[in-house]
Chains A and B, each alone.
Chain A
Amino acid sequence: MSAPEPLIGGPRPPAEILLRDVHVLDPRAGIDARHDVRVRGGRIAELGAPGELEREPRGVDADGEHELIDGGGRLRLLPAFFDPHVHLRTPGQEHKEDLETGTRAAAAGGFCAVIAMPNTDPVLDSAPLLRSLRDAAAREARVPVGFLPAITRGLQGEQLSEMAELRQEGALGFTDDGRPVQSAGMLRKALQYQRLCGGVLSLHEEDPTLSRGGAMHEGAVSAALGIGGIPSVSESTMVARDAELAGYEDARVHFQHLSCAASVDAVAAAKARGWRVSAEVCPHHLLLTEEDVRSMDTRMKMYPPLATDADRVALIEGLRSGTVDCVATDHAPHARDEKEVPFEQAPMGSTGLETAFAALHTGLVLPGVIDLALLVERMTAGAALYELPTPTIALGAPANLTLVDLDAVWIAGEHGWESRSENCCFSGRRLQGRVLLTLAAGAIAHRDRALTMVGA
């Protein structure tokens, strides 16, 4: 059986573009210098010294016309980012987001591919539904999308979804995201089934017997607000349990959106034992804490909840050391009226695709907490975790590129959003670093209006 292409996006003409005198940074390829970069037919065709590459004559056929963008030695060209965790809300909740708006938001944030979660309505847990979603993505998606169907049918935790058949239909892996697989026995069956069909099992870790009734991190702020708390052990004990199960079955698991120091420790311990685990962290957990919830702003309500500053620092340290492998946004759009309710009633989640890079650049790179190369590395590392090629700047590689202006300052949300929803936890914040251009799978997926100012 030949597996279908795991990432699937809409038809777009291959880019023909000359990026003149851009500062190319690809830590994996060992590039950190000014170059001319030519993209021809959607692939990286030439890398030259700044000013070396000539603009090609305007082609006879209009499609082949070459565009010139001058980076002035200042604009950075990075491998485009990969987001292993987004909610595109299709099918069933298209009033929040759909494949087109969600991938447009991804492109605006510099992402060349995303992985969509299955907690849709109906739940993505069957081959026919996966096929129809992939068909829709092939028409509408601005950047390629991979799909993770549910581990258990209907996310109910009671019966495995038809994993082998779903894999055959293009499932990248499986997840019950939004919920834990509460039964260890059920998770073990899925881990065993991985031997038949492969596919990473991606786990949302939470012990509902500890988290029930909670709407934010348990601590001083929840005590002061009288809002039920979710203790961080709700997550970390499940990370430890499932890492051990994965070790026992020699299975491959990925831990989603780590939120606390204890979970980082559990992942480190699992990796030290040689178990095949990986982990992701979200920008909001790296930048915000329970103190940001004090105002009861519902944009700050997410699961897992924003925790303490010590947790935040441990997550940053985990990202730096590699215990945490990659950044994921957990982009979770909700309609305005759904979030305009008292905190305890509000649905959890924040949008994040359009702000991830700028927020992390502003909050971590500019103050010198991590360097830009590490951020780029961690924002592209998600692909390999799902056995996909890592976006890279190399001759012959498909153009998965993002051009950023690290000096551009903007207020998040001031000119609206590409996403259909606006529930962004960074909304209104002053961010530095702006994505000007995104090429995904060889095609132009996003072009900032500001680009004409610097373009040819």
Chain B
Amino acid sequence: MNHLISIEDLDRADIERIVAQAERFAEVSDREIKKVPALRGRMVLNLFYEASTRTRSSFELAAKRLSADVVNFAASGSSVEKGESLKDTVLTLSAHKPDAIVLRTPWAGASELVSRWCSAAIVNAGDGKHEHPTQALLDVYTLRQRLGGIDGASIWIVGDVAHSRVARSNVLAFQRMGARVTVAGPPTLIPRGIEQLGCDVRYTLDELASADIVYALRMQRERMSETWVPSLREYASWYQINGRRLTPRQVLMHPGPVNRGVELSGEVVDSPQAVITAQVEAGVVVRMAVLYELLAGRDARPAAAPHAGGAASADPLTAAPSGEPSGEPSAQPVAGGRVA
């Protein structure tokens, strides 16, 4: 795997490998010292063209826990505001030789484009309304923690599907993992042709009780000004997940940030069925696993291969992977001591 751009590029085995790696990293998160040296000396560049608090900080935390150096580059207050193109920005930042670029933009396909312009591993942290693959991976991880697996499960994704990159990545990821997916929402916010991704489409929540997992999407207030729905009040009365609609056996998810009183009622956010904070927690370990997957394997030189045969490369928790470039000879003892 050279980049993480779309869930389309992953098969079930890829997803399971990343989730399993995340489980190993989760163990580290419970330790007193939460850092491992796996990506010591590597540089991760967060390049964000959209406001984002949780995704960016989650990636930053993930990179730091792997001992990578992190540079945050936000589009506002930068050369972008002076009219620099995406390509020129990427070429300029590439001069610093980042090993990975975590990219969020308002444009579909931007990550794919950037992957052609530079040698860094690209992690798509959201490209327009297209995809947000790490969100889908952390959602799969969260469900695995909660339920063990989602084979045969029924998952309803409810709300503004049309403008949601989370919905698209999750439809793909949940199906890859064996679940049946239904998308539901007002007809103006369900894109024509979405059923060709293999999901069912509903315009009411009448059959919501059949779902094992209810995934509510954020209803953005700006959709109101574009008159996608007649009013948020009416939207809430038809599509809000609340105590009346959610049954005790269902699991409730949401990518955050929640609009209490719109897509979710306050009571369900705070209910035991909600795994919303578990999703946030999963964000860090899953992103650690993604960065590890992309970077630790990436530079394995053929010469290093004999060493890589044993447990060393499989266990990033105790030592730098043997594939690490030779510039960091002293890393191992120090790192070993730290983690122990």
Binding site for B on A (CB under 8 A): 218-229, 231, 296, 337, 340-345
Interface stretch of the complex, out of B101-109, B141-149, B244-252: B101-109
List A contacts of B107 (CB < 8 A): 341-345
Q: Please give me the residue from chain A that is nearest to B110 by CB atom.
A: A342
Q: Is the CB of A219 within 8 A of B86?
A: no
CB < 8 Å: which of B85, B112, B193, B197 contacts A296? Answer: B112
Closest CB in chain A relative to B202 CB, distance in Å = 16
Q: Please give me the residue from chain B that is nearest to A343 by CB atom.
A: B109
Q: Is the CB of A220 within 8 A of B193?
A: yes
Whole-angstrom distance between the alpha carbons of A220 and B108 in the complex? 15
* Residues in B16-62 with C-beta less than 8 Å from chain A: none
Q: Is the CB of B193 within 8 A of A337?
A: no
Q: Is the CB of A342 within 8 A of B196?
A: no
CB < 8 Å: which of A221, A222, A228, A342 contacts B109? Answer: A342
User: Is the C-beta of B194 less than 8 angstroms from some C-beta in chain A?
Assistant: yes
CB < 8 Å: which of A220, A222, A226, A345 contacts B131? Answer: A226
List B contacts of A342 (CB < 8 A): 86, 105, 107-110, 113, 127-128
* Residues in B81-127 with C-beta less than 8 Å from chain A: 85-87, 105, 107-110, 112-113, 127
Q: Please give me the residue from chain A that is nearest to B113 by CB atom.
A: A342
Q: Is the CB of B129 within 8 A of A226?
A: yes
List A contacts of B109 (CB < 8 A): 225, 296, 342-344
Q: Is the CB of B193 within 8 A of A343?
A: no
* CB-defined A-B contacts under 8 Å, sample of 7: A218-B191, A219-B193, A220-B193, A222-B193, A226-B108, A229-B191, A342-B128
Q: Is the CB of B85 within 8 A of A337?
A: yes
List B contacts of A231 (CB < 8 A): 192
List A contacts of B168 (CB < 8 A): 224, 226
Q: Is the CB of A337 within 8 A of B87?
A: yes
* Residues in B149-203 with C-beta less than 8 Å from chain A: 164-165, 168, 191-194, 196-197
List B contacts of A229 (CB < 8 A): 191-193
List B contacts of A218 (CB < 8 A): 191-193
Closest CB in chain A relative to B115 CB, distance in Å = 12
Q: Is the CB of A341 within 8 A of B108?
A: no
User: Is the C-beta of B130 less than 8 angstroms from some C-beta in chain A?
Assistant: yes
List A contacts of B165 (CB < 8 A): 226
CB < 8 Å: which of B87, B112, B129, B193 contacts A221? Answer: B193
Whole-angstrom distance between the alpha carbons of A341 and B109 in the complex? 9
List B contacts of A340 (CB < 8 A): 85, 87, 113
Whole-angstrom distance between the alpha carbons of A229 and B162 in the complex? 10
Closest CB in chain B relative to A20 CB, distance in Å = 50
Interface centre among A219, A220, A223, A228 (most CB of B within 10 A): A223
List A contacts of B194 (CB < 8 A): 223-224
Q: Is the CB of B87 within 8 A of A223?
A: no
Closest CB in chain A relative to B47 CB, distance in Å = 13
Q: Please give me the residue from chain B that is nearest to A218 by CB atom.
A: B192
Q: Is the CB of A344 within 8 A of B196?
A: no
Q: Please give me the residue from chain B that is nearest to A216 by CB atom.
A: B108
Whole-angstrom distance between the alpha carbons of A227 and B191 in the complex? 10
Q: Please give me the residue from chain B that is nearest to A297 by CB atom.
A: B109
CB < 8 Å: which of B87, B128, B192, B196 contacts A226? Answer: B128
Q: Is the CB of A344 within 8 A of B108?
A: yes
Closest CB in chain A relative to B193 CB, distance in Å = 4
Q: Is the CB of B108 within 8 A of A225?
A: yes
Whole-angstrom distance between the alpha carbons of A243 and B280 in the complex? 57
Closest CB in chain B relative to A334 CB, distance in Å = 14
Closest CB in chain A relative to B130 CB, distance in Å = 4
List A contacts of B110 (CB < 8 A): 342
Q: Is the CB of B108 within 8 A of A223?
A: no
Whole-angstrom distance between the alpha carbons of A107 and B118 in the complex? 38
Q: Is the CB of B130 within 8 A of A341?
A: no
- Contacts A225-B130, A226-B108, A226-B168; A341 near B87 (Cβ below 8 A): yes
List B contacts of A296 (CB < 8 A): 108-109, 112-113
Q: Is the CB of B196 within 8 A of A220?
A: yes
CB < 8 Å: which of B86, B127, B196 contacts A341? Answer: B86
Q: Is the CB of A224 within 8 A of B192?
A: no
- Contacts A342-B105, A342-B113; A226 near B130 (Cβ below 8 A): yes
Closest CB in chain B relative to A290 CB, distance in Å = 9
Since A223-B193, A341-B107, A344-B128 are in contact, a sample of 11 more A-B pairs with Cβ atoms closer than 8 Å, ordered by chain A residue number, is A219-B192, A223-B196, A224-B196, A225-B130, A226-B164, A227-B130, A296-B109, A340-B113, A341-B86, A343-B108, A343-B109
Q: Please give me the residue from chain A that is nearest to B107 by CB atom.
A: A342
Closest CB in chain A relative to B24 CB, distance in Å = 32
Q: Please give me the residue from chain A that is nearest to B192 by CB atom.
A: A218
Closest CB in chain A relative to B111 CB, distance in Å = 9
Whole-angstrom distance between the alpha carbons of A296 and B111 in the complex? 11
Closest CB in chain B relative to A216 CB, distance in Å = 10
Closest CB in chain A relative to B12 CB, distance in Å = 19
Q: Please give me the residue from chain B that is nearest to A227 by CB atom.
A: B108
Whole-angstrom distance between the alpha carbons of A360 and B96 in the complex? 47
Whole-angstrom distance between the alpha carbons of A219 and B192 in the complex? 6
Q: Please give me the residue from chain A that is nearest to B114 by CB atom.
A: A342
Q: Is the CB of A223 within 8 A of B128?
A: no
Q: Please give me the residue from chain A that is nearest to B226 by CB atom.
A: A213
Closest CB in chain B relative to A294 CB, distance in Å = 10
Interface centre among A219, A222, A344 (most CB of B within 10 A): A344
Q: Please give me the residue from chain A that is nearest to B116 by CB atom.
A: A340
Whole-angstrom distance between the alpha carbons of A342 and B107 in the complex? 6
Whole-angstrom distance between the alpha carbons of A225 and B128 in the complex? 9
Closest CB in chain B relative to A217 CB, distance in Å = 10
Closest CB in chain B relative to A344 CB, distance in Å = 5
List A contacts of B129 (CB < 8 A): 226-228
Q: Is the CB of A341 within 8 A of B85?
A: yes
List B contacts of A224 (CB < 8 A): 168, 193-194, 196-197
Q: Is the CB of A227 within 8 A of B128?
A: yes
Whole-angstrom distance between the alpha carbons of A229 and B86 in the complex? 24
Q: Which 6 A-B pairs have the closest CB atoms?
A: A342-B107, A226-B129, A296-B109, A220-B193, A220-B196, A223-B193
List A contacts of B108 (CB < 8 A): 225-227, 296, 342-344
Q: Please give me the residue from chain B that is nearest to A296 by CB atom.
A: B109
List A contacts of B130 (CB < 8 A): 225-227
- Contacts A342-B110, A344-B108; A223 near B86 (Cβ below 8 A): no
Whole-angstrom distance between the alpha carbons of A250 and B196 in the complex? 45
Closest CB in chain B relative to A346 CB, distance in Å = 10
Whole-angstrom distance between the alpha carbons of A337 and B85 in the complex? 9
Closest CB in chain B relative to A421 CB, distance in Å = 17
Closest CB in chain B relative to A252 CB, distance in Å = 36
Closest CB in chain A relative to B113 CB, distance in Å = 6
List A contacts of B87 (CB < 8 A): 337, 340-341
Whole-angstrom distance between the alpha carbons of A212 and B86 in the complex? 24
Closest CB in chain A relative to B227 CB, distance in Å = 11
List A contacts of B85 (CB < 8 A): 337, 340-341
List B contacts of A223 (CB < 8 A): 191-194, 196-197
Whole-angstrom distance between the alpha carbons of A296 and B130 in the complex? 11
Whole-angstrom distance between the alpha carbons of A222 and B108 in the complex? 11
List A contacts of B196 (CB < 8 A): 220, 223-224
Whole-angstrom distance between the alpha carbons of A229 and B128 in the complex? 14
